[in-house]
Amino acid sequence: MTYLETLDYLYSRLPMFTRIGAAAMKKDLHNTIVMCENLGNPQDKFKTIHVGGTNGKGSTSHMLAAILQKAGYKTGLYTSPHLKDFRERIRVNGEMITERFVTDFTAQQKELMESISPSFFEVTVAMAFAYFEAEKVDVAIVEVGLGGRKDSTNIIHPALSVITNISFDHTNLLGNTLFEIAGQKAGIIKPGVPAVIGERQEEIAQVFITEAKETASELIFANTELRVQDTVREGRLLKTSVYQQDTCLFKDLTLDLSGFYQLKNLLTVIQSVLTLNQHGFNITDEALYSGLAHTVQITGLQGRWQTLQENPLIICDTGHNIAGIQEVLENINATEYHNLHIVIGMLGDKDVTSVLEMLPLNAKYYFCQPDLERAMPAHQLAEQAAKFMLQGPVFETVTLALNAAKATAETDDLIFVGGSTFVVAEVL
């Protein structure tokens, strides 16, 4: 098979969560274990850092990868979903997996895949581990796909477990309370392995404390150990300093990820680096400064409060659940503009009502739908939005909606594009 034929095979033959949602989920780690055993357990051949949480795990993973790469480690990075190119999911030192490896791996594993019927995600996890072994990485950052305890990535034995935060998303799979969701996320805490929790949330902190006690794991809450101070946004950069109590640990850090929500992720990342250095890693301050300043350049991360155009200012962001949209709105409120235009599409299995009731009334809306089976039809989204006095025309595609917003907006207006990762993917 050619590369394109291979992708078509993977997409069409394997259940894919991004396409069909919960129906693609497997109830245990069996298939991943079988596939990796067949490959000689490549995940055990290099160090790993496991990153979970509801929001921020992608940004956190990319920042950590950039820092480790700058520290001289050959660094693998596994994330999901991809925005434009399947190969975004699997990188080594910022470079995407080769088409040849994707094709060869699929051909070699085809018989087993057709025997055990793994999900798309299970196959990509095994592919990533095999590629990292083949490339002889020193360390791999592995982002959880969904949840944690039963996620396919949870067969690794990491040097560090990281959980960014807990909020409501995928409640049909993870539970309807923060306590239940936290219980699933806490499943990546492993015996004797230090764990960094980005945000201490009092109503669920005990979930992590109990898990850490049961696994005899060191537990650190990043935002109780560290804080940011003197933060300013300069153009497309964020500048800040990080303190531990009254001691400045890192003065005048620059981040090329400019969303203010990255400050929470920054504390998670810095606490992770401090913990790694206490457990045998050698990450210099220089590597940390340089990695944070060049995360986008090094790793290719897209869709995080990303500026697409000036005059009018067009910004996109992949935030799509209640907490993610709240962060987006805070960034919109911190941005200067004359009129606000919002191009929005959502997935039908998300908490659409809770998101819509948060959105500002003083904006013109352009309702659309991403090219995905799970997408909520644009006319249905507009009908739901009208209940909250949110008004605007309906478009069949994201591109048509964005073009209409561009045609309407003045040079000093702001056009925001979001509501779903898959809406953002179509404007990049």
Question: Quick one: 148 and 281 in the same domain?
Answer: yes
Question: Quick one: 186 and 140 in the same domain?
Answer: yes
Which residue, of 262, 280, 299, is where some domain finishes? Answer: 299
**What span, in angstroms and rounded, lies between the C-alpha atoms of 358 and 352?**
10
Residue keyed to tokens 């080769």: 98
CATH number for the domain spanning 226: value is: 3.40.1190.10
Q: Degrees (nearest 5) of the Cα angle 270, 306, 269?
A: 10
What total of structural domains would you count in the chain?
A: 2
In this structure, are residues 19 and 372 in contact, taking their beta carbons and an 8 Å threshold? Answer: yes
Backbone angles phi, psi at 363, to 5 degrees: -135, 155
Order of strands across the sheet with 227-234? 227-234, 237-244, 247-255
In this structure, are residues 56 and 167 in contact, taking their beta carbons and an 8 Å threshold? Answer: no
Question: Quick one: 276 and 323 in the same domain?
Answer: no
In this structure, are residues 330 and 261 in contact, taking their beta carbons and an 8 Å threshold? Answer: yes
Amino acid, res. 249: L
**What span, in angstroms and rounded, lies between the C-alpha atoms of 76 and 92?**
4
Question: Quick one: 259 and 127 in the same domain?
Answer: yes
**What span, in angstroms and rounded, lies between the C-alpha atoms of 273 and 251?**
16
CATH number for the domain spanning 373: value is: 3.90.190.20
Question: Quick one: 384 and 250 in the same domain?
Answer: no
Which residue, of 284, 299, 314, is where some domain finishes? Answer: 299
Question: Quick one: 31 and 78 in the same domain?
Answer: yes
Question: Quick one: 227 and 198 in the same domain?
Answer: yes
State which residues form the domain around 406: 306-425
Question: Quick one: 152 and 224 in the same domain?
Answer: yes
**What span, in angstroms and rounded, lies between the C-alpha atoms of 106 and 1?**
9
**What span, in angstroms and rounded, lies between the C-alpha atoms of 49 and 69?**
14
Which residue, of 242, 268, 299, is where some domain finishes? Answer: 299
Question: Quick one: 344 and 226 in the same domain?
Answer: no
Reduced to 3 states (helix: H, G, I; strand: E, B; else coil), residue 251 is: strand
**What span, in angstroms and rounded, lies between the C-alpha atoms of 299 and 388?**
39
Element (H, E) at 180: helix 178-185
pLDDT tens, N- to C-terminus, the chain (428 residues): 999 999 999 998 876 555 545 554 567 899 999 999 999 999 999 999 999 999 999 999 999 999 999 999 999 999 999 999 999 999 999 999 999 999 999 999 999 999 999 999 999 999 999 999 999 999 999 999 988 999 999 999 999 999 999 987 656 667 779 999 999 999 999 999 999 999 999 999 999 999 999 999 999 999 999 999 999 999 899 999 999 999 999 999 999 999 999 999 999 999 999 999 999 999 999 999 999 999 999 999 999 999 999 999 999 999 998 999 999 999 999 999 999 999 999 999 889 999 999 999 999 999 999 999 889 999 999 999 999 999 999 999 999 999 999 999 999 999 999 999 999 999 99
228: left (phi over 0), alpha (psi -120 to 50) or beta: beta
Question: Quick one: 54 and 108 in the same domain?
Answer: yes
**What span, in angstroms and rounded, lies between the C-alpha atoms of 407 and 363?**
15
Question: Quick one: 225 and 354 in the same domain?
Answer: no
CA pseudo-torsion sign 372, 350, 386, 391: negative
Contacts of 153 (CB under 8 A, 6+ apart): 50, 78, 125, 142, 143, 144, 145
Residue 309 pairs in a beta bridge with 314
Question: Quick one: 182 and 212 in the same domain?
Answer: yes
